[in-house]
A and B are shown apart, each in its own frame.
Chain A
């Protein structure tokens, strides 16, 4: 069965600094990978996804992620963080099981300091 690990529970970044959130997955075949963001008390919003093609994926709000098969990673990056980026970020992997069920990581809470 597939699994997702987000090793950082909390990360604090200064506003304007760069950001990288880590995600490692476990899955035998080519995975479908997603990053979602959740503001407090809200639902989840898709930032970006990867399922084939270019391994560097561009998303909304200036985020990007790079799929590295050799490292089983799909890290999320942003060159300059804004205070409004403070939220919880979830990495997820989907399986070719016939149904589009997702397995989520436990999330990384991003705090942005002034």
Chain B
């Protein structure tokens, strides 16, 4: 069966510090991968998605970037964190096609101070 991992689970970082969040998927090949941010009362905002290694699409301009160095690895990064980057970050995977279910990881809570 497929599983999705995210780490760390919780992170407290100072403003201006770098960020690296990692997401890995097991049990499937060539998945679509997604990064979402969830802020209180604002639902889920899609940040990036990827349909293959090295292929990244950004949904909103921001202080963050994403990379997919391996088929089942998706990394969310920042060179300098802002206070507004605080939130709950969720990674998800799916097979291709709009009818396919997205399966979510357990999330990373990021607090920028």
A45 to B4, CA, bound (A): 12
Supposing A101-B46, A107-B43 touch, asked if A46 and B106 sit within 8 A by C-beta, the answer is no
A42 and B107 form a contact (CB under 8 A): yes
Q: What is the interface of chain A mostly: helix, strand, loop, or mixed?
A: loop
Q: Encode contact with A along B88-99: 1 for CB under 8 Å, 0 otherwise.
A: 001010111111
Knowing A90-B43, A106-B43, the reply to whether A45 touches B98 (Cβ < 8 A) is no
B43-65 CB mask vs A (1 if < 8 Å, else 0) is: 11010010100000101000000
User: Is B87 interfacial (CB 8 A cutoff)?
Assistant: no
Size of interface on B: residues with Cβ below 8 Å to A:
28
Complex Cα–Cα for A41 and B90 (A): 11
The docked-state distance in angstroms from the alpha carbon of A45 to that of B94 is 13
Query: Which A residues are CB-close (under 8 A) to B42?
Result: 106
Query: Does A111 count as interface, using CB distance less than 8 angstroms?
Result: no
Nearest A residue (CB) for B44: A104
Q: How far is the CA of A95 from the CA of B46 in the complex (A)?
A: 14
With A106-B43, A107-B43 already in contact, the answer to whether A43 and B32 are too (CB < 8 A) is no
Q: Which A residues are within 8 Å of any B CB, using their own CB?
A: 9, 32, 34, 36, 41-46, 49, 51, 90, 94-107
